Structure formats: structure tokens, C-alpha cells
Structure 1
Amino acid sequence: MTIPITALYAALLVAVLVCLTTRIGLLRAKTGISILDGGSKQVAVEMRRHGNFAEHVPLLIVLMAIVEVNGGNPLFLHVVGLVLVICRIAHPLGLHPDRVQTPLRLVGAVGTSLSTIALGLMALLQGIAAI
């Protein structure tokens, strides 16, 4: 069985990851800060932009693949995938060193959480149905 829907959104999310990785790498080169944040708010923010993505997205891609392999509805998968891509772009743009709450951060966090819940529940329902 193939998982073309998951492959599509995983590829789009890889592009976002490459951008986040490049941003922190270039900032580290510019500031000479190799490890941790060196007391720089901007390095700390870039680290969290990258880190937050790395903490959430891999499991979501795995969940999406599980749901797709188990016959998940393609429309459901496309909606969740699109929401996830939009939210994972919005979230890092909304992180700001001096403001806790910004609209893009809220959209990114809520959308990512809703995607996680939706995929988790769908995987759970598929698992229960298979018993």
C-alpha cells in the first residue's frame, strides 16, 4: 500500500523544516553562537521555532501515515494536512521575543493541536474498529 497523501504533506513540511533549519544556522554563523542561545533573545526564538516544529511534526506525519494506511478518508487527510502545513508556517512567524501572544502563534498552536487531536482520534477509532 502506498501513502501518497502523507507523502505530499510530509514533503511540504520538510520544506518548512529546511527553512527553519537554515534560519537558525545562518543566525548562529552571524552571531558566532554555536551551542544554546548565548543569551541572545533572537537565537532563543529561532531555536524555539525550529525546536517546536521538530517536537510536533514527526509524530503527526506518523499518525497521518497510520490513518492513511488504515483507509482514512482522503478528504479528511487533505484537510488535516493542509491545516497542519498552514499552522506550522504560521506558528514560527508568530513567535516573538517580547510578546507571548500573537495572532499567528495562536493560529499555529491551536491548529496544530486540533490536527493532533483529529489524527489521534481517527487512529484510535480505526484501531478500535479493527479489534
Structure 2
Amino acid sequence: MSLAQPGLHLPVTGFFALPFAAYGIYLAGRVGLARISQKVLLGDRTPQQSGDGTSIASNGWKTSNDPLQQATRAHQNFVEYVPLALVLAGVAELNGADPKTLRNLLATLLAARVLHADFGLRQRDAHGIGRPLGFYATAVVTVWLGWLSASLTWF
């Protein structure tokens, strides 16, 4: 079956491409605005770059409340996880995955990424409850999509 065949499409994955793309650009824009406001063209002023800008959070962990570093990490983290999940969703969808299951998984992934960035990394000491919730939800969704893709092609 050729990918150029009429009628071969990914309606669920395609639908979710827009909100993921928009949120990814939003995160990138926050990095850009933080760079402009703090006059930093390259890097995020991590301790190696400009002295030890870290602080010790209430739980004893080293952290940073630097908005540029938080924005950069949120964007990097999004780029680390979302493309893999969308590829897995596309593979599953091409192989007949239930559209409702895919919609639920991708909606959960989108909520998880917002939780992680906006209610996790952007909170004081990058320690909001959204950070672990977003991470674990992302991990579960990604593994589920991987299992779904493999099970539809191998079994």
C-alpha cells in the first residue's frame, strides 16, 4: 500500500497536530520573550555560564527560579517527548487503532505537557505538582502508544 494513495490519512493524529504545534510554538515564544527581556542571546545562564544561580528548594534539591531557564527547559522537554508520541500515534492509527482510544491518549498527552510546563516547571523552584503528574502521564501515554503500535503490527 503506497502512502500516496487517496484516502489514506490520519484524522486523529492530524487533528492533534495543531494543538501540539501551537503549544510548542507558545513554549518557544516564552523562551524568546525571556531572552529579549533578560538580554540573553544564547544559553540559559546555567551555573556553568554565570556563577551559581541556583538555590536550594524547601525539599533540599538544587533548583532555579530563573524564568529563562524554566522556559528553556519546558520547551526542551516538550520537544523531547511529543514528537515520539505523535509518531507512535500515527503508526497505531495507520494500523487500525481505535480512534476513540487515540483521541483519549493524545488529549491526555496534551494535558500532561501543559501540566508539566505551566503547573510544574513554571512554579516556584520548578516544583509544582504538575511536574511529576505531567511526567508520569507522558510516560504512561508514550508506553501505551508504543504497545498499541506494536500490538497492531505484530499480533
Specify if TM > 0.5: yes
Greater share of helix residues, 1 or 2? Answer: 1
Return the offset for 1:103: 1.2
Question: Once the two structures are aligned, what percentage of the paired residues are identical?
Answer: 28
Structure 1 residue identity aligned to 2:104: V
Q: Could you list the runs of 5+ residues in structure 1 that have no partner in the other structure?
A: none
Residue of structure 2 in register with 1:81 after alignment: 106
Q: Structure 1 residue runs of 4+, over 6 Å off? A: none
Shift, 1:96, TM fit = 4.3
Alignment of 1:20-31 (within 5 A): 20-31=27-38
1:38 aligns with 2:37: no
Match for residue 78 of structure 2 among 39, 53, 68: 53
Between the two proteins, the alignment pairs up a number of residues equal to: 129
Deviation at 1:110, TM superposition (A): 1.1
| Separation in 1, partners of 2:130, 2:78 | 14
Q: Give the conservation status (yes or no) of the 8 Å contact 2:71–2:122.
A: no
Cα shift at 1:63: 0.6
Shift of 1:100: 5.4
TM-score by length of 2: 0.78
Residue 49 of structure 1, CA deviation: 0.4
The CA deviation at 1:65 is: 0.5
Aligned to 1:15: 22
Where relative contact order (Cα < 8 A, 6+ residues apart) is larger, the structure is: 1
Unaligned runs of 5+ in 2: 1-7, 47-52, 54-65
1: CA distance between counterparts of 2:72 and 2:94? 33
**Distance (Å, rounded) in 1 between the aligned partners of 2:134 and 2:123:** 16
